[in-house]
Structure 1
Amino acid sequence: MSRFLTRTTLSVILTLMINPTFAGADSPSTATANTPTANSWPEVTLDNTRQFIIDSRQTGRSYRILVAVPDSLVPEGGFPVVYSLDGNTTFPLWKVMAERLQQRGQARGALVVGITAAEGDKAQLVARAEDYTPPAANMDKTGDQSGSRQGGADRFLAFIEQELKPQIEQHFAINRHQQTLFGHSYGGLFTLHTLFTHPESFQRYVAASPSIWWNERYVLSERNGFADRLAALAQPVTLMLTVGSEEQTAPASMKAERVQMLQKRAQVDNVKQLFSDLQQTEAAESDGKLQLGLHIFPGENHMSAMPEAINRAVEFVYGGKP
């Protein structure tokens, strides 16, 4: 399928997310002297969206869960569902793009579930450093400079499987055979960890700009036994890998230590190598149980590649090619 949102459209969406306007409302520049102060303006809400808080026994954290409910009849078998990590950033894009696809008549809607730590921006950074990184016996060379605790990916996956999914399935008609996990950066690392260790958890995986470099590429060691786990699956799984072409290219203004880090992390090389390795081994030997796709976005860096990844992935959710 062809891309249905251009980069210009994406820019407009991002602008609206940051600076929303309301039809028929005066902008601040044209407001009269009687206009209330900005603090009294109503907060923005998203149509057909719900939110709730889960206090997780598995991780000991509270999570804000955002749910975009399709404005359409439930299809036979239930709605496809997307679980999107870093929901504070990724959820609005997923919601808007899924709705546009539905409005074009190309799909009947998907339930989008955004997951994010509930305690604010700083706490979210701490939480994702722990929740999205695999449990490794040695954490001496993770390459993470935040100083945050790491290695809690199994606890976070248990939270999704044992606490979040039952809540979603209790209140919404979802199709358990059409579940997607989306993660970017550390979220992409978690996506690969889940695929390699518990591929039965989802049917579609989108690892956008995954941090394969973490802990000297530890996640690649989790492919041990992956072929056997694939063989045991009742239905195939599909992995979409994405990365921006400029993710390991340093701009001229970048400091020397950041240039060295960027080159060492080798985002593009790692993603391309993983795709090639999976093609030659697990995909070739899995009797169709693993399907793969790779997208390298020209001119995009680590952050700008994220909306491009969602743009590609939204059609994939409805059964398109990875």
Structure 2
Amino acid sequence: MKLLLLPVVLLLFCIEVNANTAYEIPRSAVIELKEQSSGRVYPLFIQLPASYAKQPDKVYPVIYLTDAHYSFPLVSGATRFPMNSGVMQQAIIVAVSYEQGSEGAGSRIRDYTPSKAKAWRQETGNASGHMAFIRDTVFPFVEQNYRASNTNRTFVGNSLGGLFGAYILFTEPALFTNYILGSPSVWFDNNKILAASVVKPKAATRVYISVGEYETPAYGEGQDMLAGAKQLTDKILALDSGNIDLRFSVVPSASHATAFPTTAIQGLDWIYGIKKQ
């Protein structure tokens, strides 16, 4: 009986020890950057590709994410196998988190919205300031400290993050080479983004817009995100710019809460996937 019980005891001991060890995303770090104009501090979550140390001369594309606490582990996990197995280009992942010490909702509502909406009790309308922080502080830090491309950057945002990405695309499109806009909150401030003036990209720009099939009031959503995404797509297509390559996708049977994981991996596969001939 003792020989039979011993493996069980050892197994229980191992489970107990491992349960107290936190899992960490490989090759990742968290750094903090201060926005000089406001004094706000924003954590950045950064993950380097698996080949980074072995290829010291290689410069990598960079995937920039909003809503870091949600998007960083999701995109890191979803791209791990495709990147490591050679069916997707390896890239550095950088996720910009919310202002340190703030509630996440307040920080994202302030920083991802392009206009000051009088009907909102929370502060809104700092998209231009947050875009400047990314352009003037985040980009220089990443590109000076890592082998990060300044000509192959991808923006990934969802919901208000998708609205923020649309604002950047319309205002300073050259900041990113590619845009993945998941379920963009076009409805914010009475669809004001649809009336915004647009700067046409001067360089080739890819735009991937995706939304869940069930993101409509008919399925219990507060806003018609499906209609908004289609209207945003139409606005971009109406630019008649030969530099924009746009793809619109509807995620089957997905709601606002569940569409983004598919949006992120399908959009990144469209941009960085290595297609077999």
Same fold (TM over 0.5): yes
Residue of structure 2 in register with 1:243 after alignment: 211
| Counterpart code for 1:274 | L
| Structure 2 residue 263 is matched with structure 1 residue 295 | no
Please, which runs of 5 or more residues in structure 1 have no aligned partner? 1-25
| Counterpart code for 2:170 | F
Distance in structure 2 (CA, Å) of the matches to 1:268 and 1:248: 6
Deviation at 1:32, TM superposition (A): 4.9
Distance in structure 1 (CA, Å) of the matches to 2:18 and 2:257: 34
Distance in structure 2 (CA, Å) of the matches to 1:166 and 1:313: 25
TM-score normalised to structure 2 length: 0.86
Kept in 2, the 8 Å contact 1:247–1:301? The answer is yes
Deviation at 1:118, TM superposition (A): 5.0
Helix, strand or coil for the counterpart of 1:230? coil
Deviation at 1:172, TM superposition (A): 0.9
Distance in structure 2 (CA, Å) of the matches to 1:36 and 1:239: 46
Residue of structure 2 in register with 1:140 after alignment: 118
TM-score normalised to structure 1 length: 0.75
Deviation at 1:242, TM superposition (A): 0.5
Kept in 1, the 8 Å contact 2:79–2:265? The answer is no
Where in structure 2 are the equivalents of 1:202-213 lying within 5 Å? Answer: 202-213=176-187
Kept in 1, the 8 Å contact 2:194–2:231? The answer is no
Distance in structure 2 (CA, Å) of the matches to 1:296 and 1:75: 40
Kept in 2, the 8 Å contact 1:69–1:112? The answer is yes
Deviation at 1:303, TM superposition (A): 1.3
Deviation at 1:129, TM superposition (A): 0.5
| Structure 2 residue 239 is matched with structure 1 residue 271 | no
Residue of structure 1 in register with 2:194 after alignment: 220
| Counterpart code for 1:183 | G
Between 1:191-200 and 1:60-69, the stretch displaced more is: 60-69
Residues 1:94 and 1:165: Cα distance change in structure 2 (over 3 Å):
same
Kept in 2, the 8 Å contact 1:203–1:236? The answer is yes
Helix, strand or coil for the counterpart of 1:182? strand
Residue of structure 2 in register with 1:307 after alignment: 261
Q: In the comparison of the two structures, how many residue pairs are matched? A: 264
Distance in structure 1 (CA, Å) of the matches to 2:18 and 2:260: 35
Distance in structure 2 (CA, Å) of the matches to 1:59 and 1:77: 35
Distance in structure 2 (CA, Å) of the matches to 1:54 and 1:238: 28
| Structure 2 residue 90 is matched with structure 1 residue 109 | yes
2:44 to 47, 58, 65: 65
Residues 1:31 and 1:207: Cα distance change in structure 2 (over 3 Å):
same
Helix, strand or coil for the counterpart of 2:149? strand
Residue of structure 2 in register with 1:130 after alignment: 110
The alignment's C-alpha RMSD in Å is 2.6
Percent of matched pairs sharing the same residue:
25
Please, which runs of 5 or more residues in structure 2 have no aligned partner? 1-6
Residues 1:153 and 1:59: Cα distance change in structure 2 (over 3 Å):
farther
Aligned structure 1 segments of 4 or more residues deviating by more than 4 angstroms: 32-38, 73-77
